[in-house]
Structure 1
Amino acid sequence: MSDHDWQAPGGAPAGGSVPDATGTPYGAAPTPPQAPGAAASAGPYAGMVPPPMPPGAWTPPPKPGLLPLRPLGFGTLLWAPFRVLRRNPAATFGSGLVVQLVSVLATLAVFVPFALFVFSRVENVSSADADAILSGAVGGFLLLMLVPVAISLVASAFLQGVMVVEVASGTLGERLGFGALWRRAAKRIWPLLGWTAIFTGAILLVIAAFVALIVVAAVTSTTALVVAIVVALFAGLGFAALGVWIGTKVSLVPSVIVLERAGIGAAVRRSWQLTNGYFWRTFGTLLLVAVILNIAAQVVVQPVSLIGTIVAAIVDPTASGAYLTITIVTTVVTVILSLLIGAITAVVQAALVAVIYIDLRMRKEGLDLELVRHVELRDAGQPVGDPYGVPESPGAVGAAGPSGS
């Protein structure tokens, strides 16, 4: 056999090249992959496309609006109510500002005329009658306090309903205007008012009981007064802890009243069941947001008041006309800032309760699946119902979730 008849293993002639698995001859540079749609003559990789995602691969949850349609992490839960304010500021902040203005104007409308009347009477009477008039004025002020308190309760209850509607509709990608939010919330205003009155009345009754205990002890003797103060102090701490626990367990009542159209009793039971196993998460979120808002309010308002006082003292150390002018301007600015921050605080805290409610229903009842189905049907133009309606088996609520109070 001659030398030129020898072949390399594999059948390739000597001096030739054997193709590898891709068809590229050994010793030749491989042809790089080309973009999809390239000509077939560009090489063996031409026309290749990335393989599809394997079944079961992770995909981000849908987020048609305010919240991702999945159980929320703590960070999302914490900052979601602030996004409510940013997403639809005209309707949300406007509602909070209206509530604050109504409360302030109601207080001024009640107390200013009465104060002017009392001062005018005191100036025109003798010193002997002045004490009686002042005593009556104190009682009158205490009675008049009920008017702004009642108005504030009504405004607060209504704002809770408005923010529940905003969070629920925003989660579905809807953006309602000021009037639309108020009209939807107004449909459930009476149960909201009833719940707010019951909750506030229970707190006032406890406070009144402690005050009555101290007053009776003060009339009896000094020793009884000291004992009553000590008892009230320790009992007050116990009632405060109990109040925090109960308040957290029933914190979702406004959301249940508005979205599930439940009565007060049914809403209390429902809120109690939804928070089973998630007490500390709910309490911690409510507390942390309240602390953040309070610190922010102090950081904004207190420096303005302090700077105004310092400037007034420097400009007019004798406290004459300039001092009074600067003090009045500082007071007005402080009141305006307090109104604005109060509106933001009221909106964020009311929205937080609604966000917690939706999160707990997604965790315990699969509400996220119902919301996804609702959005898909709605976008496809098919008729849809209310995805926040009462679940078919509310008795099953609380069966899942971690153990805890």
Structure 2
Amino acid sequence: MSDQEWQAPGGGAWPPQVPPAPAAQPGYPQPGYPQPGYQQSGYSQQPGHDQQPGYPAPGAPAGWTPPPKPGLLPLRPLGFGTLLWAPFRTLRRNPAPTFGTGLLVQLATVVATAAVVVPFMFILLDRTGSAAGEDADTLFAGAVGGFLLLMLVPIAVSVVASALVQGVMVVEVATGTLGEKLGFGALWRRAARRIWPLIGWTLLLSAAVLLAVLSVVVVVVIAAMLGPVGLAVGVVFAIVAGLGLVALGAWLGVKTSLVPSIIVLEEAGIRRAVARSWRLTDGYFWRTLGVELLVAVILSTASNVVVQPISFLGGMLSVLIDPTGTGSGAVVLIVLTVVSTVLSLLIGAITLVVQSAVIAVIYLDLRMRKEGLDLELERHVELRDAGHPVGDPYLPRPVAPVPAPASPGAPYGWA
């Protein structure tokens, strides 16, 4: 028996025959290797979408599926158009508590101002009418100081009301993105939890603006006291300083614009909120400024289109009805003034609500881009809809400590 005919025990041939590998089936991707034209959905950008663009997530299903949109915003980084119109959709989606909050704030400010100014003006006119000579001048100087002190009341009301609107709109945008629709009382209760830090931040901003303006005014007054040349120098300084303050205010305003959202949603203090807002806006200054300015221009244009024709019509009707000035057109003028005031209140409420909402929308977009918040929100919505207990997805997650690298030559696992 030759070597070629030898049989192994058990009847098998020697050497054993290995069957050839099956050919790859056409049209199917091989496991573990990307194929041309084969796409996968999902993201591998961890922690944020800006860090590793273009890499599909391992194990994601084939083909592209749109991101979920359980509520106000789609759970993905937002485009410029979405950023622009989402604040207006916030007002339309839940109008009663949002518009109602803005309207109440506007009315509270107007009522507080009227309650302080109107009685004071009546008392002042009565006393200045009966005074004469030096007494009238002294009374007028005291009236100016008293008026400035009394104006602190509506300013304080405006500060508190503005802080409350910011908190309400942040809560509305955040809960609306998750598909929730809260009522008037629920929104106010959740915003009131962080009202004191919001008031502190609003007061800090107001004090900074007031200090900057007063500094310029004091320099101009001192320069004007030195003579005509000093006055000219003061005017030039005021123009240059005014432009510089506008540029500085725009830069600082954008860099710290997310502070109210961070105070409310992340329960941060003012100092940490400022630092975090500064970091989140890095690389997105011009985009954030463009969205805020464009929304402000839209609101201002709409306000002028509505209010200005009524004011112009009032003047025209007053002249046509009473061309000789006998007072017969006063009723028409009063009616149109009241209508114009009411429209101004309504538009002011809309403006306040939308401008507060746009900041919250920008905040969510930047966290989606930089921290992958959209993935966290998707997970939250899936668990919530499945009946599992969920926490607050907007609170910052603790960062796990990175273990120190092992020393060269050290045993595995020993640093």
TM range (shorter): 0.7 to 0.9
Q: Distance in 2 between matches of 1:103 and 1:293?
A: 20
Correspondence for 1:195 among 195, 201, 208: 201
Correspondence for 2:111 among 102, 105, 126: 105
Cα deviation for residue 231 of structure 1 reads 1.2
Correspondence for 2:347 among 332, 337, 341: 341
State the match for 1:370 in structure 2.
Answer: 376
Matched AA of 1:326: V
Cα deviation for residue 127 of structure 1 reads 4.2
Q: TM-score, normalised by structure 2?
A: 0.80
Q: Distance in 1 between matches of 2:101 and 2:121?
A: 30
Q: Distance in 2 between matches of 1:391 and 1:296?
A: 41
Cα deviation for residue 122 of structure 1 reads 1.4
| Poorly superposed stretches of 4+, deviation over 6 Å | none
What secondary structure is seen at the aligned counterpart in 2 of 1:322? coil
Q: TM-score, normalised by structure 1?
A: 0.82
Q: Does 1:94 align with 2:108?
A: no
Q: Does 1:358 align with 2:364?
A: yes
Matched AA of 2:197: P
Q: Distance in 1 between matches of 2:244 and 2:160?
A: 29
Correspondence for 1:118 among 104, 118, 124: 124
State the match for 1:278 in structure 2.
Answer: 284
Cα deviation for residue 133 of structure 1 reads 2.0
Q: Distance in 1 between matches of 2:230 and 2:146?
A: 30
Q: Distance in 2 between matches of 1:56 and 1:108?
A: 65
Deviations 1:175-220 (A, max 9, x none): 0000000000000000000011111101100000011111112222
Cα deviation for residue 327 of structure 1 reads 1.4
Q: Does 1:289 align with 2:295?
A: yes
What secondary structure is seen at the aligned counterpart in 1 of 2:85? helix
Measured on the aligned residues, the alpha-carbon RMSD in Å equals 1.5
Deviations 1:215-234 (A, max 9, x none): 11222222111101111211
Cα deviation for residue 318 of structure 1 reads 2.1
Matched AA of 1:103: T
Q: Does 1:327 align with 2:344?
A: no
Closer, same or farther: CA 394–212 of 1 in aligned 2, 3 Å: farther
Q: Does 1:84 align with 2:90?
A: yes
**TM alignment of 1:12-161, pairs within 5 A:** 55-161=61-167
Matched AA of 1:313: V
Sequence identity percentage: 65
Q: Does 1:216 align with 2:234?
A: no
Q: Which moved more, 1:234-243 or 1:258-267?
A: 234-243
Matched AA of 1:270: R
Q: Distance in 1 between matches of 2:287 and 2:182?
A: 30
State the match for 2:249 in structure 1.
Answer: 243
Q: Distance in 2 between matches of 1:133 and 1:215?
A: 24
Cα deviation for residue 96 of structure 1 reads 0.3
Q: Distance in 2 between matches of 1:123 and 1:161?
A: 47
Deviations 1:256-281 (A, max 9, x none): 00000000000000000000011111
Asked if structure 1 preserves the Cα contact closer than 8 Å seen for 2:254 and 2:289, the reply is: yes
- Mark the runs of 5 or more structure 1 residues left unpaired by the alignment: 1-53, 396-405
How many equivalent pairs are there?
A: 342
- Mark the runs of 5 or more structure 2 residues left unpaired by the alignment: 1-59, 402-415
Matched AA of 2:283: G
Cα deviation for residue 330 of structure 1 reads 1.4
Q: Distance in 2 between matches of 1:225 and 1:394?
A: 61
What secondary structure is seen at the aligned counterpart in 2 of 1:72? coil
Asked if structure 1 preserves the Cα contact closer than 8 Å seen for 2:221 and 2:234, the reply is: no
Cα deviation for residue 393 of structure 1 reads 3.8
Cα deviation for residue 284 of structure 1 reads 0.3
Cα deviation for residue 131 of structure 1 reads 2.6
Matched AA of 1:232: A
Correspondence for 2:264 among 250, 258, 267: 258
Q: Does 1:391 align with 2:401?
A: no
What secondary structure is seen at the aligned counterpart in 1 of 2:126? helix
Correspondence for 1:314 among 316, 320, 341: 320
Deviations 1:8-62 (A, max 9, x none): xxxxxxxxxxxxxxxxxxxxxxxxxxxxxxxxxxxxxxxxxxxxxx942111110
Q: Distance in 1 between matches of 2:388 and 2:61?
A: 28
Q: Which moved more, 1:135-144 or 1:327-336?
A: 135-144
Cα deviation for residue 134 of structure 1 reads 2.2
Q: Distance in 2 between matches of 1:212 and 1:391?
A: 48
Structure number with the higher helix fraction is 1
What secondary structure is seen at the aligned counterpart in 1 of 2:221? helix
Cα deviation for residue 143 of structure 1 reads 2.2
Q: Distance in 1 between matches of 2:228 and 2:61?
A: 79
Cα deviation for residue 128 of structure 1 reads 4.1
Deviations 1:340-370 (A, max 9, x none): 0000000000000000000000011000000
